[in-house]
């Protein structure tokens, strides 16, 4: 019991010293046991298999697709062009469409489907503390837009028809989720 109290006191002292030195932010530790919380420092893509989808900005349709995938893309502040290209390739190659036997065995490329990509920094929101999400992990608008464009260009090399929303705009997204099939890719 005494040993446990000593260890707990030492852990608290070390944790406080690390915070004060600015080495690690306090949110990286849980408040109860001093364990590291698994925070995602990754680009996030939410992929939905759709029968149709469209995005409008100020009442005007900026992108509309039939059968294919709708991708919500969140860019992390530490992401790179390599990350964007990898996630785009993964989205294009993901086997989420049914083959002749009814098994999810075909990619959007193989069915000659379409893709709609919508930027969504809120995918990087952290709701661990308080009631207001923190978006400090999201890329700044300039970097986010650049990597969003890299992602879209890489996707266009694999999929014939790629439509987009407008980066940073207030968008209205409609979709008919087929299945439903919804997956998350992080890198």
Q: Which residues are catalytic?
A: 120-122
Q: Give the span between the Cα atoms of 186 and 43, in whole angstroms.
A: 5
Predicted TM-score (pTM) of this structure:
0.79
Listed residue (127, 164, 23, 135) closest to 76, CA to CA: 135
24-82: pLDDT as tens digits: 444 444 444 444 444 456 999 999 999 999 999 999 999 999 999 999 999 999 999 99
Bridging pattern class, strands 114-119 and 161-164: parallel
* pLDDT > 90 fraction of the chain, expressed in percent and rounded: 78
pLDDT beyond 50 at 173: yes
């Amino acid at each position: 019991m005494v040993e446990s109290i000593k260890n707990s006191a030492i852990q608290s002292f070390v944790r406080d010293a690390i915070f004060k030195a600015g080495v690690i932010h306090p949110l990286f530790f849980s408040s109860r046991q001093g364990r590291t919380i698994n925070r995602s420092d990754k680009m996030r893509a939410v992929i939905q298999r759709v029968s149709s989808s469209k995005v409008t900005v100020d009442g005007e349709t900026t992108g509309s697709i039939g059968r294919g995938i709708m991708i919500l893309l969140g860019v992390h502040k530490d992401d790179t062009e390599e990350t964007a290209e990898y996630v785009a390739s993964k989205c294009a190659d993901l086997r989420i469409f049914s083959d002749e036997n009814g098994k999810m065995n075909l990619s959007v490329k193989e069915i000659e489907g379409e893709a709609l990509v919508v930027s969504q920094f809120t995918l990087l929101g952290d709701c661990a503390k308080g009631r207001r999400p923190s978006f400090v992990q999201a890329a700044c608008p300039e970097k986010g837009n650049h990597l969003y464009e890299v992602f879209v260009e890489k996707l266009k090399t694999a999929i014939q028809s790629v439509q987009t929303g407008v980066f940073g705009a207030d968008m209205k997204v409609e979709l008919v989720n087929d299945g439903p099939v919804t997956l998350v890719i992080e890198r």
